[in-house]
Structure 1
Amino acid sequence: MATQASSTLPSGRLSLRDRLSRLTFLEACKLLGPEGKTLIQQSANQWEITIADDVFLGGDLFRLKLPAETKGGRPVVVTITLMAEARNRLHWNCNRCRTACEHVGAAFSLILEEKLALGLAAAPPEPRTPVESLGEEALIARALADRAERAKTEKMTVQSVDSTQPWTDYTVTNRLSGKSYRVALRGTEPGASFCSCPDFRTNTLGTCKHVMHVLNKVRRRFKAEALRKPYRRKHLALHLRYDGDEVTLRLLTPEQVDEAIIKVIEPIRDKPITDLHDLMKRLAKLQKLGRDVAIYPDAEELIQQRLLQERLRSKTEEIRTNPAGHPLRAEMLKIPLLPYQLDGIAFAAGAGRAILADDMGLGKTIQGIGTAEFLANEAEIKKVLIVCPASLKSQWRSEIHRCCYRDVQLVGGGAAVRGEQYQNDCFFTICNYEQVLRDIIHIERMNWDLIILDEGQRIKNYESKTSNVIKSLRSRFALALTGTPLENRLDDLYSIVQFIDDRRLGPGFRFFNKHRMVDEKGKVLGYRNLGELRERLKPILLRRTRDSVKLELPQRTMDIVRIPPSDEQAVIHAGHLQIIAAITRKKFLSEMDLLRLQKSLLMCRMVADSTTLVNKEDPGHSTKLAHLDDLFERVFEEEGRKVILFSEWTTMLDLIERPLKKRGHGFVRLDGSVPQKQRAELVHRFQNDPTCQLFLTTNAGSTGLNLQAANTVINVDLPWNPAVLEQRIARAHRMGQLQPVQVFVLVTEGTIEENLLATLAAKKDLALAALDVESEVDRVDLASGLQELKSRLEVLLGARPEAPVDETVKQKEEAATQALSMAHRERVASAGGELLGAAFKFLGELVSQQESTPPPEALVANLRAGLSACVETDASGKPRLSVTLPDTSSLDGLAQALAKLLAIGQPAGV
């Protein structure tokens, strides 16, 4: 077992928390010895670590538990403590290895990256005025102030190329992350200098924390007189100038230039350069005159990208004018392409870096392969990296073999083996998202010509580690394939666009300021300027819906089947709904409130399927199961029916299997417990075995699978996200489907599932407004009331909690409702309450005379809970019972029943 101690700090005795909070990257590297830097960097993403479950930090002990390396083996445990005999010395231990190892590297990487989550760093300050509410001047001032603060507080080392003067090149290294960047310092004003960091590239400010940090040190080292002397340029140089939203290519010139040189550069001197072919001719003339031009890295990248796009544009525009009649439809791949698919390939290749956002099932995989093939022929690309979910790797390989003659390397196995697999001679290399996190060092060593992201919405969280690592990958061409670029928020789309073109939508602070509407607390109320957003996306984003290619797809029908719940389901649902209502009425929610809310919300969704999912009692109560039994009988009366059935819960699939076995229907089942290697076999059996009539699956089967043999899709329950519902349906309703597809959505009445229908529709409206090029919607307001509550509940299921419900909106809704004949309604409600109270009291007396045994307390409690969900407190503090009648004729029935009830025992004529 490996152990090691750290050097002593000069300060007094520290607690372990204090010691770890002050730990820097360089100190951690020294602590692990010569291989420390490599161990920390390579181990950073090798394991999925959940702090709540895998980490303990208390007293003088830090402990990290990593999964066992072999099945049935002991987990790997790394501990870090303070040595008792030496002040402030760290002692680490690994129960598996004898020397410094990747396990210890993972522990220190976690501490360095997650200090806030571990409680080793202070929480961020209280929210300031939302960035969306700032004007342009204040927006820029805050962005500059934020970077200035980081320039002062973050620890960086600076190395100068020429220490005798301020205006020279520097290497700046962040001591915490270990990352280094080049800074070319040319003056004090924004835009005068250059930094190679990603923030400088995209923030449109002309500066960054690294430039500011170097300037701070230069001001302390050099006298004001030296800083007032401007930088004397000695050579011609091409650079990018960042002017607000625009990035322009410009030529920098020395003060002293020969007349012959001036004649060549005069037309482009101090002007934005847009004609690159003209620029290349002038550079050639300068070279003949013996004057080389220095080209900054970001300028060189932009020039190469634009020249390549211009060369491809004439070819792709020719294809797009008549894709239906172009010979490449039949010649490019081994299988013929549909016109819109060839158009998509031409769009992606012409853009160079693009998002293909077609609806599910329209053949994005084929278009991705076709784009690679087109670029191989026209741009001579040789290396393509495909990043996809793990479950789709084998399917990608099969589609490549079906569509073209290129060779493929599938990345798999242990960490030691995977490193070599990236260094292959194959045209396509396929890995999954988790492998990119673990193998980033090996991937970065390769020169990828094209990177294809399948299910690109995996990087929708622009602040997540996965998203940041993926977006750090470099390639000449890039293609993101996603049927759901906008799932819940406009932020999702922004993150995917950053991978394709990190300058397209500008920095985050500008994007959110321009497109989000918020209240004074920063809560998102809606989105604006969507027309401008569509225009900015048009050159890089192509989206075709099923409606736009409906002549090439079979018919699809959607049947929403509303099913009344059983009494048992209704009672349990009402009880949990009451808990949800009580919590959401609170102005502020504690962590325990969130946990209780999450649990009750989950219970409401599950009981809409079956009480067994909630109380684990079998047999349970489920009107859906009874309806499904009838539905199976009707569906399978028709010859040739094949069904895909989705449910969120494996227990529900267990319950559904029973009637299927009883009726003798053949089926296969796929859920999260099925190994990846067996999934292809299940798909093959369902597709080709006529006796296999159903494909039962959880959401594990909602993406990537091609199940065109099915002509029926049954959604036993509704997902939170409209994209997931579309993903489910698209397993059957996709290109290659020759039959009409019938979709059933089962919804339990009077439950939270009914409210989900409206929520799904609202989110779809936002997606269309942002993506549909024919849309005229420029603004989307997020609904208030129940929709607002639903949005909050969705956030509580996995995203970051947002601000409380706006009380002013709530008050307006209540006022609007009360405005309708308030006085009359109050009188009727009061009289009705007295009438019902008298009737039920009288009924209770009659029952008590006939039955001396009191009713079961559990039954009374259940009924009370159900009725309580319908009770509100009015302005005077009196309880009010609200009920919903199925139709107006029910009023007559209720009046008749109450009259008969009150007439019992009364004299005739009374």
Structure 2
Amino acid sequence: MRAEAERWAGWAGTARLISLDSLRGVERFPHQIKACLKVMRDLNGRAILADEVGLGKTIEAGIVLKEYLLRGAVRTILVLVPASLCEQWRAELWEKFELDFVVSRGPAGQWGRHPLVISSLETARHERHRRRVRGANYDLVVVDEAHRLRNHLTLGWKFINDLNPRYLLLLTATPVQNDMRELYNLSTLVRPGTVGTFSQFRRDFLSGHDKRSPRNTPRLRTLLESVMIRTRRADTDLTFAPRKVETLWVSQSPAERLLYQQVSDFVAESVRADSGGPGRPHYFTLMVLQKEMGSSWAAARSTMERLAQHPDGLETRRLKALTARAAEVSRSPSKIRSLLRSVAGMGGEKCIIFTQFRATQDTIVEALRESGIEPAVFHGEMGWREKEESLENFRAGLQVLVSTEAGGEGRNLQFCRIVVNYDLPWNPMRIEQRIGRVHRLGQEHPVRVINLAARGTIEAYVLEILDRKIRMFELVVGEMEEILGTWQQHGSFEDEVFRRWVESSGPRMRKRRFAELAQHLVVARRLYQKQKERQNWLFPVVPKEDKA
């Protein structure tokens, strides 16, 4: 009845998208237009958007949201995303679609107070908020990274099932990972009964011995067409700009090399569990210190000074001695010299230099100015207007943008094609996000990525795994997240990196422990590749001759 009413009202039967003219800085591709029209015209606003990574599912969701709002079909919208992506979604929906969402955090929340809300799934389904979210009766719900709903026994799946909004969009490139039941669960959320009861689904489509390989595939594919849209890169005429990755090995001075070893030993001794752990209260600060050493001695020095002021069991005298040495080596850092040579060799071409730390950013900016280059600067503490002016100055004439991790999230920086990772985050997703600022749909020029690292550092081990073992830099932006999703480990990748570093008694053990981690990820990449092939074989796709 609902579907018939919607068709009668004309909301799903439109032949054109009226929102396209109002989008800002969004390059529209035929597969995205086709997907949005199908969502509204054929699927009545309830769909799994399962495009391969890198094809712009977020843009498709944004167009559908704007379209329904403009047509008056919805008034309230809830967007559920991973906590780390809330701000990125908010910025992108405002800057590209002029949709004024608020991020709901904290015990009070924005449920029912504001018509357009973004939240993490974990926050929304929390028992403190669950009733208020349900009571808001959202017209449209979007779930990003919807593969987190593949298990029908989880609180997340049950929460979305209870919400039962009029319109529902689930975004995931991998609707199935380990078991065809996962596909059944997602399909049932979108349109219950599409593939029957689970007993019917098991009888008709599961082969019994292999949970990941269905039978009666043509029939299942036909049924899935009523709940799913999937576009592969091979189904489009899009060309993705090639990516060239270089490692610029920094030759540390003997003093820098010795200090890196001494501070690393101090960090490891302080956090090792079997030592009684005077550093356990400072665990995360010590982890940051280890990262800062791979970035700049200016950043590391300030952290060591703070620890020396509030040691809480740490060796104060040792800390002060290390801090004094850091002050000495930070006067002429070898990494800055390597960076300046690299920028000088770019022939005036624009580049973005990324760093994790403000102290490092200040060091880079000062060095560039002393060499005669005035850079644009971007960081999270700047106001909205300052950020816009800085990016406009970079676009209009300045050669270099020096940016922290906040750099241009949701913004189009494709007028630049060179990314310099002055320091290397241990989290591969952060590296992907940096590269993704310039290497995305619409980039017309080959992208150049320059990674600065010194041998013997933790960043060198991370680079060995990501570059040489799993060839991360060959992947499309977004695929690394899928690989990490198949890597079934507790805790984050950067926690695992730090743990293996501090628990190793010397270089030989360190090499072995990181080789083990690399092997785990090699297996995860193979599993991801198999999943991708299986899903391309199973799921309905847009025929090439039928593209919009």
- TM class by shorter chain equals 0.5 to 0.7
Aligned with residue 674 of structure 1, among 382, 390, 414: 382
Task: Give the CA RMSD over aligned residues.
Answer: 5.9
C-alpha deviation, 1:712, in angstroms = 1.4
Pairing partner for 1:364 from 57, 62, 67: 57
Task: Write 1 or 2 for the structure with the bigger share of strand.
Answer: 1
Alignment-mate amino acid for residue 613 of structure 1: A
**Could you tell me how far apart the structure 1 residues matched to 2:158 and 2:412 are?**
30
Q: What whole-Å deviation, never above 9, does each CA across 1:68-96 have from its counterpart, x for those lacking one?
A: xxxxxxxxxxxxxxxxxxxxxxxxxxxxx
Which of residues 633, 647, 658 is equivalent to 2:344? 633
Provide the residue aligned with 2:138 in structure 1.
448
- Residue 432 (structure 2) pairs with residue 745 (structure 1): no
Q: Are 2:441 and 1:755 aligned?
A: no
**Deviation of the 1:711 alpha carbon:** 1.9
Aligned with residue 613 of structure 1, among 292, 299, 315? 299
What residue identity is the alignment partner of 1:610?
A: S
Give the one of 713, 724, 736 matched to 2:419: 713
Counterpart Cα distance in 2 of 1:743 and 1:642: 13
3-state secondary structure, aligned to 1:345: helix
1:656 aligns with 2:350: no
Deviation string, structure 1 residues 268-302 (Cα, Å, up to 9, x no partner): xxxxxxxxxxxxxxxxxxxxxxxxxxxxxxxxxxx
Inter-CA distance 369–652: structure 2 relative to 1 (3 Å threshold):
same
C-alpha deviation, 1:445, in angstroms: 3.5
Unmatched tracts of structure 1, length 5 or more? 1-303, 320-326, 402-407, 424-428, 508-527, 783-787, 811-867, 873-910
Which residue is equivalent to 2:259? 572
Deviations 1:396-428 (A, max 9, x none): 134225xxxxxx5544899999677536xxxxx
Q: Secondary structure at the match of 1:552?
A: coil
Distance 1:684 1:311 in 2: 45
Residue matched to 1:339? 30
SS for the counterpart of 1:692 is coil
SS of the residue aligned with 2:399?
Answer: strand
Mapped pair 1:352 → 2:46: yes
Describe the shift of the 1:500–1:653 C-alpha distance in structure 2 as closer, same or farther (beyond 3 A): farther
- Give the counterpart letter for 1:371 in structure 2: V
Instruction: Give the SS at the match of 2:445.
Output: coil
1:750 aligns to what SS in structure 2? coil
Mark the CA change 1:569 to 1:345 in structure 2 (over 3 Å): closer, same or farther: farther
- Give the AA of the match of 1:366: I
Q: What are the ranges of 5 or more consecutive residues in structure 2 without an aligned counterpart? A: 199-208, 303-326, 510-548
- The answer (yes or no) to whether the contact 2:17–2:67 under 8 Å persists in 1 is no
Identity of aligned residues (%): 21
**In proportion to residue count, which structure has more helix?**
2
Instruction: Sort the Cα spacing of 1:704 and 1:755 in 2 relative to 1 into closer, same or farther, 3 A.
Output: same
Once residues 331 and 697 of structure 1 are traced to their aligned partners in structure 2, the CA distance between those partners, rounded to angstroms, is 36
CA contact (8 A) 2:53 2:173 kept: yes
Shift of 1:529: 7.3
Query: Are positions 1:558 and 2:245 aligned together?
Result: yes
Q: Distance in 2 between matches of 1:444 and 1:598?
A: 37
Pair 724,419 (structure 1): closer, same or farther in 2 beyond 3 Å: closer
CA contact (8 A) 1:471 1:498 kept: no
Instruction: Mark the CA change 1:598 to 1:382 in structure 2 (over 3 Å): closer, same or farther.
Output: closer
Contact 1:646 1:714 in 2 (8 A): yes
Asked whether the equivalents of residues 356 and 425 of structure 2 are also in contact (C-alpha less than 8 Å), the reply is: yes
8 A contact 2:427–2:494 mirrored in 1: no
- Confirm whether residue 477 of structure 1 aligns to residue 174 of structure 2: no
Indicate how the Cα distance of structure 1 residues 694 and 472 shifts in structure 2: closer, same or farther if over 3 A, else same.
Answer: farther
User: What is residue 686 of structure 1 aligned with on the other side?
Assistant: 394
Displacement of 1:628 in angstroms is 0.8
Shift of 1:545: 7.3
Q: Indicate how the Cα distance of structure 1 residues 470 and 680 shifts in structure 2: closer, same or farther if over 3 A, else same.
A: farther
For the residues of structure 2 that align with 1:702 and 1:461, how far apart are their CA atoms? 35
Q: Would the alpha carbon gap of residues 376 and 780 (structure 1) be closer, same or farther in structure 2, given more than 3 Å must change? A: closer
Equivalent position of 1:148 in the other structure: none
For 2:353, the aligned partner's letter is: L
Larger radius of gyration: 1
Do 1:452 and 1:479's aligned partners in 2 also have CA atoms closer than 8 Å? Answer: yes
Q: Equivalences for 1:590-609 in 2 at 5 Å?
A: 601-609=287-295
2:335 aligned with 1:624: yes
The change in CA–CA distance for 1:739 and 1:702 in structure 2 (over 3 A counts) is same
- Cα 1:685–1:789, aligned 2, differ >3 Å: closer, same or farther? same
8 Å contact from structure 1 (residues 554, 738) kept in 2: yes
TM-score normalised according to structure 1 size: 0.38
Post-superposition shift, 1:610? 2.5
User: 2:441 aligns to what SS in structure 1?
Assistant: coil
Q: Which has the higher contact order (CA 8 A, sep 6+)?
A: 2
